[in-house]
Amino acid sequence: MDKQPLTPLAQAVQQVLADITSLTEVEQVSLDQAQGRVLSKALVSPIAVPPFANSQMDGYAGRFDELRAETFLPVRLRVPAGSSPPELPFGSLARIFTGAPIPEGADTVIMQEDMTTQEQDGQLFARPSRLPDCKGRFVRQSGADIQPGQILLGPGRRLGSADIGFLASVGVQKVDVFRQPRVAIFSTGDELVQPGGALGPGQIFDSNRPMMRTVFGQYGLSVSDLGRLPDKADATREALQRASHSHDMVLTCGGVSVGEEDHVKAAVTALGSLRLWKLAMKPGKPFAFGQINRCYFVGLPGNPVSAWVTFFLLGQLLLRRLEGETAPNLLKFTAPAGFDWPRPDPREEFLRGRLDDQGFLHIHARQDSHILSSLVESTGLIRIPGNTTVVQGDRLDFFPYRF
């Protein structure tokens, strides 16, 4: 029996992220293909934002001192967004709209709700019903948001939709990003049958491989689905060796436990190095991490919930570091428990659960590691430290599902 001590999850995360060397190859992609990609270098702004002084409001633009005089002034200009107005004559106002350029000579905007208007001989006149409290009110100055040459986003940042909009707003068309990892996936076990096939005695459908293909797809990665590893030591070793030559990561589901038919751990040890094995967490104890040649190896448990949970909590951080992300982390917050947990486990536990409308955490009724419906019917993982009982009201960490 293997007496190797179990590794706490926090220690495993620290160790794995320290062991990973990010990919260094860089490619340039257009902005509409950059969603989810990781920047390889800092981006600086080529322009000022806004590029010209403009109005924050629909209203009237004028000179501060003239607006403070509390007299009716003629409205000489009309300035919509996208126009190029002439200089504002002294002793007059400009009707101006949100985003429109401030005409030369004007320095303050009064929003239309704070103006009194009247017509005289076909000419519109206006004066403030509420005086401006400072010069420059409701004027967005050129460069107030961004200066030319200012760093917009740093290297190692994964681009989201807001980032894409931000870069588009300064005219960026292409970005330099790290190459995406090449990933291979295996499942293990002679008992597995692909969906669509016919189940024989003692067989089950393979849910892990379709599930993990989808996870990688959420990162925009296309993976090599290399099928099922048979329960044979030589065939397992040969398949892993072959996959390692053309991929940056090889991921297996199952085969890293201590059973006589679990050959993956031995194969990785023979071909390269196994740097981490067995976590002090439930579910997900038989997680493995190592390297074959220059390819990283990730071994997930065979039980589908355990596989999903360990990849969510640890495997995705490994992948994100490999992609070049500087500081990968998981979204989490604390909330009060709406349940009791009187039977603590020595290991750190991650229970499938949800947050109710009142902000309390509740666990799914079934916590077995083979019940995928517990993932489908929950919205996140509730962390319970090892050897810890829980009573209602105790505050616990909650990790909402998000890849």
Q: What is the 3-state secondary structure (H, E, C) of 140-200?
A: ECCCCCECCCCEEECCCCECCHHHHHHHHCCCCCEEEEECCCCEEEEEECCCEECCCCCCC
Rounded to whole angstroms, how far apart are CA atoms 208 and 186?
9
Predicted local confidence at residue 129, as pLDDT: 95
pLDDT at residue 3, as a whole number: 67
Dihedral over Cα of 370, 372, 374, 379: its sign: positive
CATH architecture of 35-45+145-178: Alpha-Beta Complex (3.90)
Residue pair 340/361 in contact (Cβ under 8 Å)? The answer is: no
Average pLDDT over residues 126-145: 95
pLDDT over 50 at 212, yes or no: yes
Residue with tokens 């220059």: 294
- The rounded percent of the chain whose pLDDT value lies above 70 is 98
What is the predicted pLDDT for the residue at 263?
Answer: 86
As a residue count, the chain comes to 403
What is the CATH code for 54-140? 2.170.190.11
Give the model's confidence band at 5: pLDDT under 50 very low, under 70 low, under 90 confident, else very high.
Answer: confident
Residues 6+ apart with CB under 8 A from 47: 146, 148, 170, 171
Cα angle 321-333-395, degrees, rounded to a multiple of 5: 135
State pLDDT tens for residues 274-310: 999 999 999 999 999 999 999 999 999 999 999 999 9
User: CATH 2.170.190.11: which residues of the chain?
Assistant: 54-140
Task: Report the run of H or E that residue 288 belongs to, with start and end.
Answer: strand 288-292
Instruction: Check residue 189 and give its pLDDT.
Output: 85
- Tell me: pLDDT of 151 over 50: yes
The boundaries of every CATH 2.40.340.10 domain in the chain are 333-400
The per-residue pLDDT for range 263-276, each reduced to its tens digit, is 898 999 999 999 99
* Selection from 208, 256, 212 nearest residue 236 by Cα: 256
Percent of the chain with pLDDT over 90: 89
Residue 378 is predicted with a pLDDT of 97
Round the average pLDDT of the chain to a whole number and report it. Answer: 94
Q: What is the pLDDT of residues 308-359, one digit of tens each?
A: 999 999 999 999 999 999 999 999 999 999 999 999 999 999 999 999 999 9
> Domain 333-400 falls in which CATH fold?
Beta-clip (2.40.340)
Return residue ranges of the chain for CATH 3.90.105.10.
35-45+145-178
Q: Give the pLDDT mean for 152-180.
A: 96
| pLDDT score recorded for residue 230 | 84
Q: Where in the chain is CATH 3.40.980.10? A: 9-25+180-322
pLDDT of residue 1: 47
Assigned token pair, 400? 């909402």
Spatial CA neighbour of 188 closest among 241, 222, 227: 227
259 pLDDT band, cuts 50/70/90, is low
Which architecture does CATH list for 9-25+180-322? 3-Layer(aba) Sandwich (3.40)
For 21-66, write each residue's pLDDT tens digit: 999 999 999 999 999 999 999 999 999 999 999 999 999 999 999 9
Exposed e or buried b for every residue in 281-309, given b needs 16+ CB within 10 A? bbbbbbbbbbbbeebbbbbbbbbbbbbbb
Per-residue model confidence (pLDDT) at position 2: 56
Q: Is the pTM of this model over 0.95?
A: no
Count helices and strands in the chain by DSSP H and E runs: 9, 26
Helix-helix angle 233-244:264-271, to 10 degrees: 50
